[in-house]
Amino acid sequence: MARRGQVGRIEVSGKWYVVRFRKYPKDGKPIYACERICPLKGKDSLPVGQRRRRASEIVAASGVNDPQAFIDAAVGTTFREQAKWFLNNSMNRKRNPVKPATMQSWQNCVDKWLNPNLGDTPLASINNSTVKGLVAKMHEAKLAPKSIANYVGLVKLVVASALDKDGEQLFPRKWNHDFIDLPIVQKQHQPTFTPETTTAIVQKAYGTERVLYALLAGSGLRIGEALGLEVKHFSEDCQTITVEQSCWEGDIQTPKTKNAYRQVDISSELAKLLKAFIGVRQAGFLFANKVGKPLSQTNLLRRSLHSILEELKRPKAGFHAMRRFRTTWLRKQRAPEDLIKFWLGHAEQSVTDGYSKLNEDVDFRKQVAEEIGTGFLIPVFEEKLSARNALRIRRVRRVEVAA
């Protein structure tokens, strides 16, 4: 496991100043060492500055910060051990910690493919040849090019995470994609909906789900952002939505990226539906269950959206298809590219993007959103159905589809 250089910690132990630090033998767990520096009192006692220098000399003399010691320790580290450290560090570091969704995806990659094939291989032996063998197995298993690229990318991150005391990579690699035979990702499967399909989905949904689907297709919000919305995030006329949090597996977290903190403007027709749905509520999640918690993305997908798509005889797709529909509609209506990026929460890609301040002109944003519209028919709001009625409708749908 990668470690930084140690300086030791000075403490008082009995009548002595001592320095505590850790030693890392090649075999076994870390050893917590303690060495005397000087007495607390008397002629041999040292002032603060000299105690610090003496402590540094003791740590240096122990050899724990020797660069070769780091390498020798890391040579015996297996991919499995380094991957475990990497995942834990990626989630707990202060600088750009990864989101829980990303962590779950990485953990699945490690558990399903990387550890079974590379887990017991010394980290120092992970190179182009090793990865070539892994890619060959993935090709044989008929994995999609994007999946193979994701797995290989994670291998690179794990190998690069092994550092010496100066923060330099212990095992720098020049990866050769041609030698590895890494597939080129082309024409990814990115399902979307047509205006007709979107209208049908919204019409066949009911209650809360109908409003949610209309919002997703009419705003381009990510599903986690929509489920994390509270009443306080809407302007008085409901035409401007402030995105400042997201929901994942029932837990509230920060948005996906810094650009995801934004305001999204929608048409007055969709805003009217949302205003009716909010009603007299002054607080709480917009889309909540009976105990006030955010709805489950998995349940919505499995019990509602997929059932509707099956009834419409359309291929299964996720909520991101609605985000693609919104993006396509905005471009077809020739919306300013600056506003498209701003509303979708995408990063600026050029210096010119940074100069444009269209996103600060609220009146212009609302005007464009109103002129562009949604691209599908907005339904009339109707009261939420009871849980018993909702369950009955789902059962009827399953029977009709099966027939």
Token pair recorded at residue 140: 């044989």
Do 77-180 and 195-402 fold alike per CATH? no
Token pair recorded at residue 326: 């919104």
pLDDT band at 1 (very low <50, low <70, confident <90, very high): very low
SS3 at position 189: coil
> Average pLDDT for residues 140-159, to the nearest whole number?
94
- For 339-368, the pLDDT digits (tens) are 999 999 998 877 777 778 888 889 999 999
User: What is the architecture of the domain spanning 195-402?
Assistant: Orthogonal Bundle (1.10)
- For 235-266, the pLDDT digits (tens) are 999 999 999 999 998 899 999 889 999 999 99
Which amino acid is present at 352? T
What does CATH list as the number for 77-180?
Answer: 1.10.150.130
d(CA 161, CA 159): 5
Q: Evaluate whether 79 touches 119 at the Cβ level (below 8 Å).
A: yes
Residue whose tokens read 């008397």: 42
CA distances for 56 relative to 21, 30, 36, 70, 123, angstroms: 10, 19, 12, 18, 31
> Average pLDDT for residues 111-139, to the nearest whole number?
94
Average pLDDT over the chain reads: 87
The rounded radius of gyration (Å) of the Cα atoms in the chain is: 28
Q: Evaluate whether 349 touches 242 at the Cβ level (below 8 Å).
A: no
pLDDT at position 2: 41
Report which of 172, 168, 157 is spatially closest to residue 70, judged by C-alpha positions.
168
Which amino acid is present at 270? L
d(CA 196, CA 198): 5
- Kindly tell me if the per-residue pLDDT of 397 is higher than 90: no
Indicate the domain borders of the chain: 9-65, 77-180, 195-402
- Kindly tell me if the per-residue pLDDT of 26 is higher than 70: no
Report which of 274, 172, 176, 151 is spatially closest to residue 221, judged by C-alpha positions.
274
Residue whose tokens read 């998995």: 298
304: burial class by Cβ within 10 Å (0-12, 13-18, 19+)? buried
